[in-house]
Chains A and B, each alone.
Chain A
Amino acid sequence: EAQVTQNPRYLITVTGKKLTVTCSQNMNHEYMSWYRQDPGLGLRQIYYSMNVEVTDKGDVPEGYKVSRKEKRNFPLILESPSPNQTSLYFCASSLFWSGGETQYFGPGTRLLVL
């Protein structure tokens, strides 16, 4: 089944404790991105990757890192999480980055930083 998977789905952590949220897609998509979803703000892009070893900042990259060593995986790293990073996170992928390509979203990771 074609899908985007994220792990973990739920995570409670404390301020400053490094964490990684994994994202994997099995559709051979070139483009992958991370979004955070907060009430009243919709989805905001954190980072994106147009292909392996190519990553760039989205609208809200502060406090996050990403890597794209393989085409299928695009982990989101929080080196020192803070409470303002408490949010619902979505990974997405599409065949290409160009306009008009359908983005497929993962199921989401709900993060609480105490």
Chain B
Amino acid sequence: GENVEQHPSTLSVQEGDSAVIKCTYSDSASNYFPWYKQELGKGPQLIIDIRSNVGEKKDQRIAVTLNKTAKHFSLHITETQPEDSAVYFCAASKDNNDMRFGAGTRLTVKP
């Protein structure tokens, strides 16, 4: 089955700096790669996703890149703000029955 590894487990940046979180996956058949943000006391919320037929996707300050050959994908947050502080999860799947999540990255943005 699919195995997803996520790094780093914790990340601390100054407000305004960029943050990058990386994930690798094992199953070359995986074709859907969502990123979730989990704020304290809440459930994960989808912030961006990418499919295997696309190499990069951007939504304002958030972007995701996918390298199918190397089987890794990354989340990029630019101009970070304190409200970006949360736990971020990557996931990979062929369908929702097979979705595997990374262990999570705790991002802290210091004012």
Interface set of A (CB-CB < 8 Å, partner B): 4, 31, 33, 40-45, 48, 50, 56, 58-59, 90, 92, 94, 97-108
B104-A42 in contact (CB<8A): yes
User: In the assembled complex, how far is the CB of residue A6 from the closest CB belonging to chain B, in whole angstroms?
Assistant: 8
Interface residue tally of chain B, by bracket?
Answer: 20 to 34
A106-B51 in contact (CB<8A): no
A41-B34 in contact (CB<8A): no
- Tell me how many residue pairs across A and B have CB atoms closer than 8 Å: 64
A106-B93 in contact (CB<8A): no
The A interface is mostly helix, strand or loop, or mixed, namely strand
Instruction: Give complex CA distance A107, B40 in Å.
Output: 10
Which residues of B are found within 8 Å of A31, using beta-carbon distances?
96
Which residues of A are found within 8 Å of B97, using beta-carbon distances?
45, 48, 50, 56, 58, 97
From A33, A44, A48, A103, name the one whose CB has the most chain B CB atoms within 10 angstroms. A103
Interface set of B (CB-CB < 8 Å, partner A): 1, 4, 6, 9, 31-32, 34, 36, 41-46, 49, 51, 89, 93-97, 99, 101-104
Instruction: Give complex CA distance A75, B64 in Å.
Output: 34
Which residues of B are found within 8 Å of A107, using beta-carbon distances?
41-43
Which residues of A are found within 8 Å of B103, using beta-carbon distances?
40-42
Residue of B nearest to A98 (CB): B95
